[in-house]
Amino acid sequence: MHILLIDNNDSFTRNLEHLLVSAIKGAEVVVEPYTRLPQLDLTAADLIVVSPGPGTPAEYPGYERVFESGKPVLGICLGMQIMNEHHGGETGRLPGCVHGKTDEIDWLGEQQTVARYHSLCVTKVGDGLEVMARNDQDVVMCLGSRDHRAIGYQFHPESFLTSNGGRFIRDAIAYLDLQ
């Protein structure tokens, strides 16, 4: 599987690359910086991953071509917020700031420990996106749409604090019907 990982200047990008390679058999990951987004050839990718990053979705214009490419997309943290805003959703300031903390979410009927590193959160869900997980403070932790071929995690599956990061990658692959 050819995976294009777009790096939004985040220190977790190489950890995410490593997790993708270890969780997906036969994965070949190409990491490209966000600054090259306008020139990237999206046609060869079986999956496009939008990385976490500092700042707000508004600081990363140009992702329309990714979401309108017809390619499956996995967004992580900022990547999920960018996906949500592309579909008309909104992002706001999280009450407090959560960096390097664990949280519990109900994931497909099981309690899972996930790592959170964010100060922004989804305040309005975009059109056609379904909330697949929230934490107990009602913060959206996962959004997805089979019709849009997109899924996003607010938490960081690539962090050592997420106890089952590979599972979240494999579940995203299954949700996007890439198996």
Question: Catalytic: 32?
Answer: no
Catalytic residue among 86, 118, 148, 156: 156
What values do phi and psi take at 141, rounded to 5? -110, -20
**CA angle at 176 for the pair 26 and 165, rounded to the nearest 5°:** 65
| Nearest C-alpha neighbor of 122 from the set 153, 157, 156, 146 | 153
Exactly one of 85, 86, 118, 158 is catalytic; which is it? 158
The single residue of 77, 85, 118, 121 carrying the catalytic annotation is 77
- Collapsing DSSP to helix, strand or coil, 44 comes out as coil
Tell the burial category of 137 from Cβ atoms under 10 Å away from its Cβ (0-12, 13-18, 19+).
Answer: exposed
Hey, is 4 helix, strand or coil? strand
Beta strands in the chain (DSSP E): 2-7, 28-33, 47-50, 73-76, 90-107, 110-124, 130-134, 140-145, 150-153
Whether residue 77 lies in the annotated active site: yes
Catalytic residues: 77, 156, 158
